[in-house]
């Protein structure tokens, strides 16, 4: 069950809202937890067992830290125990297959038989709720979050269905007060519904319409120049509208029940540099990597060389977090190298900032190149796409793609590009005219609803498409 499905919109959500709002305030966390666990169990009941186990484990470790003193030596050892338990579970479920496959590849040249291994299924949302546990334990050690003595409160935090599967990565301190008591009003519910509808439209009308074309290109053995660039640009747009759409839907759902989740995207495809891009893309993950990896490694406090190394290490780990594949490691190294290069360039003697347009074009080209290996199923697939982008397999659209390049799929690419740059037009309009003009008031009022209706029509005409970040 996903947000952009009829089961969620017309079965789960109405029942949840009815139960939630008739529940007395002091029991609403219990209602939210019960429905969140039911939402998660919809995929597989055994996945729920792992979620509950890891929740209980982290809660008990935190309580033990509270008893001995979080900043004591015993508190430190307990924190390490909790981190090892959580990261160990993540390593087993997410990276064991990758590790065994890599080890078997090493054995081949030596004539050794591969290690027998049954593939492990990755529990959905594992990466996100493990990161929440990691941040909770570290923040307790740092003394920046209160330790909750209520298992119900902590379990509700871990399991809020709005963000359980793919974020945003919400830290406990960000909603600690709202877990105790939160404000509800018709105005806030309406604001959340509007945010949800915008995200729904981004997912169903834009990302899902482009998706079949992207899949077709990345399945071609030898994509041409036109094929490859359609696929690369299409995926660049699909990933943004899919993940940003999910984030907005999660933020909107949370707002409807009184929570204020952190923003996860800030028009990243308007960035004027790669550093600016990472300030805008998946912002909760960027902050997590900065606070729990980059700064503890020394950040930029130990000289330029160490700073560059730290950037590359952190981004490589960030790439590996996305998936157990060398593709993701290379993608992380690519962005780490870009960030290090940008930092070195901007700090050279006599450095001047690039004009926005030039910096934006360079940044988007670098991001697009990275998304190709991020999307490719393996390195051979990525190399084939890069070869196609250079024209090594011909120029015009291939026959294999032509029959799938229907007008609706092709036309939604420039429409998606328009929506990427629409904020720039809106800012210019705001500067030229009063922001409260009737046109903009009407647009902000009917735009989300119109997009939601269009998304519903499109959803009715095809199967629901899972969110891309569900696989991470």
CA distance 184 to 456: 27
Say if residue 137 is in the same domain as residue 259: no
Confidence at residue 429, expressed as pLDDT on a 0 to 100 scale: 47
Domain boundary among 114, 147, 182: 182
Q: What is the mean pLDDT of residues 307-325?
A: 92
| Least confident range of 73-82, 94-103, 243-252 | 94-103
Q: Is residue 297 part of a domain?
A: no
Say if residue 104 is in the same domain as residue 251: no
Q: Is residue 83 part of a domain?
A: yes
Confidence at residue 195, expressed as pLDDT on a 0 to 100 scale: 93
What's the mean pLDDT when you consider all of the chain? Answer: 90
CA distance 26 to 295: 39
pLDDT digits (tens, 9 = 90+) for 285-313: 999 999 999 999 998 888 889 999 999 99
Q: Is residue 18 part of a domain?
A: no
Q: Is residue 15 part of a domain?
A: no
Say if residue 110 is in the same domain as residue 154: yes
Structural element, H or E, at residue 335: helix 326-346
Say if residue 44 is in the same domain as residue 153: yes
Say if residue 158 is in the same domain as residue 214: no
Confidence at residue 160, expressed as pLDDT on a 0 to 100 scale: 93
Structural element, H or E, at residue 417: helix 407-432
Say if residue 125 is in the same domain as residue 263: no
- Residue 282 designated active-site: no
Q: Is residue 278 part of a domain?
A: no
Say if residue 382 is in the same domain as residue 449: yes
Q: Is residue 19 part of a domain?
A: no
Main-chain dihedrals φ then ψ at residue 415, nearest 5 degrees:
-65, -45
Q: Is residue 338 part of a domain?
A: no
Q: Tell me the percentage of the chain whose pLDDT exceeds 90.
A: 68
Domain boundary among 148, 182, 216: 182
Closest by Cα among 178, 187, 177, 243 to 211: 243
Q: What domain count does the chain have?
A: 2
Q: Among 183, 184, 322, 393, which one carries the catalytic annotation?
A: 322
Residues 6 or more apart whose Cβ sits within 8 Å of residue 57: 82, 85, 86
Domain boundary among 118, 147, 182: 182
Confidence at residue 441, expressed as pLDDT on a 0 to 100 scale: 63
Q: Is 72 helix (H, G, I), strand (E, B) or coil?
A: coil
Closest by Cα among 276, 286, 269, 277 to 206: 269
> Could you give the residue ranges of the DSSP H alpha helices within 202-261?
208-218, 225-256
Say if residue 168 is in the same domain as residue 222: no
Say if residue 92 is in the same domain as residue 143: yes
Say if residue 56 is in the same domain as residue 164: yes
Closest by Cα among 128, 65, 68, 141 to 94: 128
Say if residue 197 is in the same domain as residue 152: no
pLDDT digits (tens, 9 = 90+) for 344-383: 988 877 767 889 999 999 999 999 999 999 999 999 999 9
153: containing domain = 27-182
Question: Which token pair is 265?
Answer: 């995207």
Say if residue 45 is in the same domain as residue 118: yes
Q: What is the pTM of this model?
A: 0.91
Question: Which token pair is 215?
Answer: 């899949």
Judge whether 377 and 325 are in contact, CB under 8 Å: no
Judge whether 275 and 300 are in contact, CB under 8 Å: no
In angstroms, the Cα distances linking 48 to 34, 36, 96, 168, 183 are 12, 10, 20, 20, 29
| Least confident range of 25-34, 111-120, 150-159, 398-407 | 111-120
Q: Is residue 396 part of a domain?
A: yes
Q: Could you write out the DSSP letters of every residue in 336-391?
A: HHHHHHHHHHHTSTT--PPPHHHHHHHHHHHHHHHHHHHHSSSHHHHHHHHHHHTT
Using 50, 70 and 90 to split pLDDT, how confident is the model at 152? very high
């Amino acid at each position: 069950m996903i947000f952009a499905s009829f089961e969620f919109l017309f079965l789960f959500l109405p029942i949840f809202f009815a139960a939630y709002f008739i529940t007395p305030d002091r029991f609403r966390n219990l209602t939210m937890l019960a429905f969140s666990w039911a939402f998660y169990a919809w995929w597989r009941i055994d996945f729920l067992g792992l979620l509950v186990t890891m929740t209980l484990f982290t809660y008990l470790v935190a309580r033990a830290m509270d008893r001995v003193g979080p900043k004591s030596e015993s508190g430190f050892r307990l924190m390490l125990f909790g981190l090892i338990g959580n990261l160990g579970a993540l390593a087993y479920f997410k990276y064991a297959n990758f590790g065994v496959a890599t080890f078997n590849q090493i054995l081949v040249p030596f004539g050794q038989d591969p290690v027998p291994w049954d593939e492990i299924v990755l529990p959905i949302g594992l990466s996100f709720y493990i990161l929440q546990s990691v941040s909770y334990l570290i923040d307790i050690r740092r003394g920046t979050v209160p330790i909750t003595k209520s298992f119900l409160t902590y379990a509700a935090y871990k399991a809020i269905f709005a963000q359980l599967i793919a974020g945003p990565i919400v830290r406990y301190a960000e909603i600690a007060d709202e877990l105790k008591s939160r404000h509800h009003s018709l105005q806030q519910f309406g604001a959340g519904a509007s945010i949800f509808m915008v995200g729904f439209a981004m997912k169903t009308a834009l990302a899902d319409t482009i998706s079949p074309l992207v899949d077709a290109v990345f399945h071609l053995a030898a994509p041409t120049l036109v094929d490859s660039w359609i696929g690369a640009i299409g995926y660049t747009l699909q990933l943004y509208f899919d993940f940003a759409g999910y984030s907005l839907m999660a933020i909107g759902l949370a707002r409807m029940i009184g929570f204020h989740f952190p923003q996860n995207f800030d028009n990243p495809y308007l960035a004027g540099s790669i550093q600016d891009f990472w300030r805008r893309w998946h912002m909760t993950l960027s902050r997590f990597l900065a606070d729990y990896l980059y700064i503890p490694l020394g950040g930029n406090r130990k000289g330029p060389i160490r700073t560059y190394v730290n950037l590359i290490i952190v981004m490589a780990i960030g790439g590996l977090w996305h998936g157990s594949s060398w593709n993701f490691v290379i993608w992380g190294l690519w962005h780490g190298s870009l960030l290090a290069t940008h930092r070195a360039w901007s700090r050279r003697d006599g450095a001047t900032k690039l004009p926005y347009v030039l910096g934006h074009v360079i940044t988007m080209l670098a991001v697009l190149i990275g998304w190709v290996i991020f999307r490719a199923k393996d390195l051979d697939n990525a190399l084939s796409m890069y070869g196609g982008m250079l024209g090594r397999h011909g120029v015009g659209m291939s026959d294999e793609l032509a029959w799938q390049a229907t007008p609706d799929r092709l036309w939604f690419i420039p429409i998606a590009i328009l929506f990427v740059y629409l904020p720039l037009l809106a800012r210019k309009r705001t500067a030229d005219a009063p922001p409260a003009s009737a046109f903009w008031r009407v647009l902000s009022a009917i735009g989300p609803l119109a997009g939601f209706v269009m998304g519903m029509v499109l959803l009715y005409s095809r199967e629901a498409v899972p969110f891309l970040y569900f696989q991470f």
